[in-house]
Amino acid sequence: MTSYKDSGVDIDAQDDALREVRRIARDTYTPGVLSDIGSFGGLFRGTFEGITDPILVSSTDGVGTKLRIAQAMKIHDTVGYDLVSHCVNDILVQGARPLFFLDYYATGKLRPPVMTDVIRGMARACKENGCALIGGETAEMPGFYSDDDYDVAGFILGVVDSKNLIDGKGVREGDVLIGLPSVGLHTNGYSLARRILFDQLGYDPQTIVPGIGKAGEALLQPHISYLKPLLPLVEQRALHAMAHITGGGLTDNLPRVLGDTLDARVKLGSWPVLPIFKFLYEKGGVAVDEMLRVFNMGIGMVLLVAPEDVDRVAKHLTQVGQTFYFVGNVVRGSGKVQYDTPPAGFASWIE
């Protein structure tokens, strides 16, 4: 007799892992959750206290080849945290707070401790952001993934009152760009970073890089959520727009909120560059334009603020302990980013 287990799929191992996932997920539940992990669909009550005209905002994303670093370092809870934070930021830029999160976890051979570590990271980020981990899917796919490989993706749903919706239509010439710092690559640019560090330089994740530390630990720095410091500004309607700086860097993400008649003039040198970006630029032989388009360069979120609101935004960010930098302004243009380089050139800033 041939069984499913003989073909590489262990249903019993999945059941054991899902029991632990159910326990982890329950710790994230909010009053709106009406179902438990294991139902065919997740149930959430669609009543939103304090919101008169709710608009639902959704997004989906993955973690990319940052997973390769997690697998090499055998540290798996950070990528789950990254996934949720990324999705939270993606809906935050339109003014939404998260309601619930769903995940998809696929692997060649289910390793229950690995999967539960990934889910544990998701749950930690969900709890920090007031978001319920309401369900997901686990797929064991022998022959498609190698035994120790896994991929993870997420879907988020949030809500914003229509009066607080941020759609970029309020952006005007003269608006000030305020940048909030990242703590690393977040979840973008890893294919290039891995090529430089591991293929070109011959490092491994345990290699100590001067001024940076272990290469793997530097690359696993978390993708942070900006929900807590920024949601009050959304509710005060103090922002014309926000841009989450993900794949495409400042170059491709700022134009998403500009329209066709405005440019973002970004002043390079107005914020400090993280050591990991300096290292990749110097050792990798990467062109300046490529650095600015692949990596976030130390800025994870950009706020577009009317000049008359800059003081109250700055005051709020200072009060909540959120570091920020004035990184440029909005000018007439054609929907792109202009870069003002320091007098001594790009290298003087990044080196």
All structural domains of the chain: 5-164 (3.30.1330.10), 176-350 (3.90.650.10)
Q: Alpha-carbon distance 180 to 6, whole Å?
A: 51
Residue 79's Cα: distance from chain center in Å?
A: 10
Q: Which residues contact 85 (CB under 8 A, 6 or more apart)?
A: 125, 129, 222, 223, 224, 225
Query: Residue 347: its pLDDT value, please?
Result: 72
**Centroid of chain to Cα 42:** 24
CA–CA distance, 21 with 11 (Å, rounded to integer)? 15
**Residue 220, pLDDT score:** 96
**pLDDT at res. 341:** 86
Amino acid at 170: G
Gap between the Cα atoms of 208 and 167, Å rounded:
44
Residue 350 and residue 292: Cα distance in Å, rounded? Answer: 11
**What's residue 13's pLDDT?**
76
What is the DSSP annotation of 47-106? --TT-SSEEEEEEEEE-TTHHHHHHHHT--HHHHHHHHHHHHHHHHTTTPEEEEEEEEEE
pLDDT of residue 96: 97
- pTM value? 0.94
Written as six digits, the tokens of 171 are 């952006």
- In order along its 351 residues, the chain shows pLDDT tens digits of 666 665 677 777 777 778 888 899 999 999 999 988 878 888 999 889 889 999 999 999 999 999 999 999 999 999 999 999 999 999 999 999 999 999 999 999 999 999 999 999 999 999 999 999 999 999 999 999 999 999 999 999 999 999 999 998 999 999 999 999 999 999 999 999 999 999 999 999 999 998 899 999 999 999 999 999 999 999 999 999 999 999 999 999 999 999 899 999 999 999 999 999 999 999 999 999 999 999 999 999 999 999 999 999 999 999 999 999 999 999 999 999 999 988 766 677 776
CA–CA separation, 216 and 203 (whole Å): 10
pLDDT of residue 173: 96
